[in-house]
Amino acid sequence: MPRAPMYDVDEVMEQAIDVFLEHGFHGTVMDEIIARTDFNRRGFYLEFGSKQAFLYRVIQFYIDTQLQRVIAALESDSGVQAIDDFFSRYLALIGGRGCLLINCVAELGFDDPTIRDMGRHYIDRLQIDFIACVEQAVNHHELRPETNIEAIALQLTSYVQGFAINAILAQDADELKLATQTLLRGNR
Amino acid sequence: MPRAPMYDVDEVMEQAIDVFLEHGFHGTVMDEIIARTDFNRRGFYLEFGSKQAFLYRVIQFYIDTQLQRVIAALESDSGVQAIDDFFSRYLALIGGRGCLLINCVAELGFDDPTIRDMGRHYIDRLQIDFIACVEQAVNHHELRPETNIEAIALQLTSYVQGFAINAILAQDADELKLATQTLLRGNR
DNA sequence: CCTTTTAAAGAATTATTATTCTTTAGCCTA
DNA sequence: TAGGCTAAAGAATAATAATTCTTTAAAAGG
């Protein structure tokens, strides 16, 4: 029997997310991936085949774990509270780092259909979940009955992308948090 | 007297904007810049020094001409009409292409302070101009007096970033336009 | 405790791409 | 129209970075 691999793929994914968030896809060099994830070059190519295939895996992992956990707030709970939860979790996720999926869409989206599709699915899901939440809120009399549900949901979906960009620009996490509070308060 | 250069720097800038929008900074190779702008390698390095210095010039040009023209809607006119104008011009600018500044912030912002500063100035200016517009709208009784001016302005600023991302993902310009109309209608 | 298998480490290679250099030829002036 | 200057074109070089290869050694089973 040969020795077992020392790296845990999930852990490597987590580490890779940080690296790609810092430098983007093309800005990240293999040397840094190797240095900052705990596995070796040969293992890398045996497991993933190429840097690009690796990126796809990392993004999918990011969606399935990080973003999934945030969106879950919208799907488990419901109404206004769910939306508050969502934004509070989302801010915690992207604060000081931005969103890997949105960054990759901005960097590669025009050229790369795979990434564009991932982005579209994510946005669609967000929109659908927001609609359900706002609908619930109306039903529970948390929002006025004449509320334009689709429009409000679309606003919320847009905020999310806006935050992802702001997270890169904001000096510190607090600034972003404050902005979010101001933004959501105004909507009541 | 030597022969005069054949290229017009402003024209080169316009052409370069398209290339960088398509492939991002690192994804754009010099060969394509040379092929699609009408000037030559030597001229390029004489004029700009490096690909990175060139990017800065192109972004600044993009801000000073394209984005400036759009933001002007907020500064010349005023009130709700100005905001409508702004979004209609902005959509025309980014439809099917996205926003060069936002893309560069997403790709390089974490690593590159110069670009981060450009992004911050842009967002700050947007926010200030929106505040002035919303204030005017309240004064002219286009919006209710209890309107939370800062919060509404922040919402609008966020939409702008959200649109920039959506423009990359939307199949066609119409989809984006429709979404925008829905979004703004809901806010009245 | 030796053999086999393959993981780890990192050196070597290859590919790509930014930058520089060389050649050619156009334009202006004298 | 000849000469000098420099723009255009693109070949050559240098730098960087992705991928592959080689060596070393750790673990499991006999």
Alpha helices in A28-148 (DSSP H): 30-36, 41-48, 51-62, 68-76, 79-94, 100-108, 113-139
Distance from CA of B131 to the nearest CA of A (A): 13
Q: Which two tokens stand for residue A99?
A: 């969103």
A153 SS3 class: helix
Sequence letter at residue B186: G
Residue B103 in tokens: 């893309």
Distance, in Å, from the CA atom of B59 to the CA atom of B6, rounded to the nearest integer, reads 23
Q: Which residues in A lie closer than 8 A to residue B102 (C-beta atoms)?
A: 106, 165
CB A13 within 8 A of CB A57: yes
Interchain pair A106, B108: CB under 8 A: no
CA A149/CA B164 separation, integer angstroms: 23
Q: What is the pLDDT of residues A151-179, one digit of tens each?
A: 888 888 988 999 999 999 986 767 677 76
Model confidence at B6, pLDDT cuts 50, 70, 90, reads confident
> Does B102 contact A183 at a Cβ distance shorter than 8 Å?
no
Whole-angstrom Cα distance, residue B119 to residue B69?
A: 17
- Asked if the Cβ–Cβ distance from A183 to B108 is below 8 Å, we say no
pLDDT classification of B152: cutoffs 50, 70, 90: confident
How far apart, in whole angstroms, are the C-alpha atoms of residue B177 and residue A39?
47
Residue B155: pLDDT over 90: no
User: Are B151 and A183 contacting, i.e. CB atoms less than 8 angstroms apart?
Assistant: yes
Is B26 within 7 A of strand D by CB distance? Answer: no
pLDDT at A24 over 90: yes
Q: What is the pLDDT of residues A31-81, one digit of tens each?
A: 999 999 988 899 999 999 999 999 999 999 999 999 999 999 999 868 888
